[in-house]
Amino acid sequence: MAPARRIGILTAGGDSPGLNAAIRGIGKAAIGQHGMQVIGFRDGFRGLAEDRSVLLDRRLSGILTVGGTILGTSRDKPHRMLVDGDIVDMTSAVVRTYQKHRLDALVCLGGGGTAKNALRLVRAGLNIITLPKTIDNDVVLTDATFGFATALDIATDAIDRLHSTAHSHHRIIVVEIMGHRAGWLTLGAGIAGGADVILLPEIPYRVESVSEAILRRVRRGSHFSIVAVAEGARSQEDAETYREAESRKRAASTPDEERAAVAALAAVEAAHAGNTLRLAAQLEALTGLESRVTILGYVQRGGAPSAADRLLATRLGSAGADLIDQGVFGVMVAARGEGTEPVPLERVAGKRRPVPLDHPWVLAARHVGTCLGD
């Protein structure tokens, strides 16, 4: 009898609700339906490069409802990994680990950055598939990413709870929600939680527009407001500065120009830190209303995954095991309607799905009178 086929699994990038559900979905389908052996690698691509492996066959029970990832995760890149103080290309080490364990395929759970790293490994000759994971919901060519639904529930619940204190004290409550480059989480939670103002990375705002919207509420007798702001939201002036810095980086034609452009962009990013606190102070000065800030931070990533994320992660994981059995590699397993679809990694890697300005959620927010800052 031929030896059982062997697959590896790792989780990369930020942690997200549903990772364990996805590991379980892949593992149980691979073992139970296809007779495979499943090996996990701890701490993302670093664990793969350093061969931190564990046999998963008997570790899949009881993890469906558990938050985080039993494998641990990291943001390390195979081709640029910090080793003893130096940046090293560890791709060859990754290939050696893959070959040492006689893997037929490797499943990488992560977002757009993970897809980019996975594509590099495909080009190094490995059989790879990825599953779309991120609370930001910004992976291209999939209807949804697992982790988003849970984070949306958490952020919405937080806004619900903030309404009572905002109303009681006649305050502006500014709540910061995760999302550096895409505003799906802030937009969804803002609409579901009834925020009066929603500020997104995709729609640069004017502080004056926000304060005017709050003062209109005051004139109508509403002496409190909830402002939901994505951590990557920028004023129109700051957004223009950021675009110019990005343009200089893209236009750089020499190593010196590129280093200078990268440093300039980093300075712009550093200047953005604390933007939510500055916004609250500006709104307090312009409206005369007391302002308070709530930064949800990593609480949005924590806790047990929602039913929706458990279902999505299980669907994607089991579909991934089926694709491996069929010999389909170099793809992301995308959610498509009630089913799944393999999408070539070349179409996913290095891309991001921002909120379209004409998206139905944006239109719905505007139609119910929500200020988007523009």
Which residue range(s) make up the domain with 44?
Answer: 6-146+305-347
Q: Which of 300, 332, 355 is the last residue of a domain?
A: 300
Q: What is the pTM of this model?
A: 0.94
Q: Are residues 185 and 248 in the same domain?
A: yes
Q: How many structural domains comprise the chain?
A: 2
Q: Are residues 168 and 256 in the same domain?
A: yes
| Residue 352 located in a structural domain | no
Q: Are residues 275 and 177 in the same domain?
A: yes
Measure the CA–CA gap between 142 and 140, rounded to whole angstroms: 6
**Band (1; pLDDT cuts 50, 70, 90):** very low
Residue 225 has pLDDT above 60, yes or no: yes
Q: Are residues 90 and 224 in the same domain?
A: no
Residue 73 has pLDDT above 60, yes or no: yes
Q: Are residues 240 and 102 in the same domain?
A: no
**Band (4; pLDDT cuts 50, 70, 90):** low
Q: Are residues 183 and 274 in the same domain?
A: yes
Q: Are residues 138 and 165 in the same domain?
A: no
Q: Which of 240, 272, 300 is the last residue of a domain?
A: 300
Q: Check which CATH number belongs to the domain holding 327 and give it.
A: 3.40.50.450
Per the annotation, the verdict on 358 as an active-site residue is no
pLDDT at 58: 84
Mean pLDDT lowest among 234-238, 242-246, 294-298: 242-246
For 104-114, write each residue's pLDDT tens digit. Answer: 999 999 999 99
Q: Are residues 130 and 253 in the same domain?
A: no
Average confidence (pLDDT) over 220-248: 94
Q: Check which CATH number belongs to the domain holding 261 and give it.
A: 3.40.50.460
Residue 195 has pLDDT above 80, yes or no: yes
Q: What is the CA radius of gyration of the chain?
A: 22
pLDDT at 2: 53
| Residue 249 located in a structural domain | yes
| Closest to 202 (Cα-Cα) out of 372, 354, 364, 373 | 354
Q: Are residues 265 and 316 in the same domain?
A: no
What does the mean pLDDT of the chain come to? 95
Longest dimension (CA), the chain: 79
**Band (3; pLDDT cuts 50, 70, 90):** low
**List 76, 136, 138, 196, catalytic entry:** 136
For 263-315, write each residue's pLDDT tens digit. Answer: 988 999 999 999 999 999 999 999 999 999 999 999 999 999 999 999 999 99
Query: Quick one: 177 exposed, middle or buried, by C-beta within 10 A (0-12, 13-18, 19+)?
Result: buried
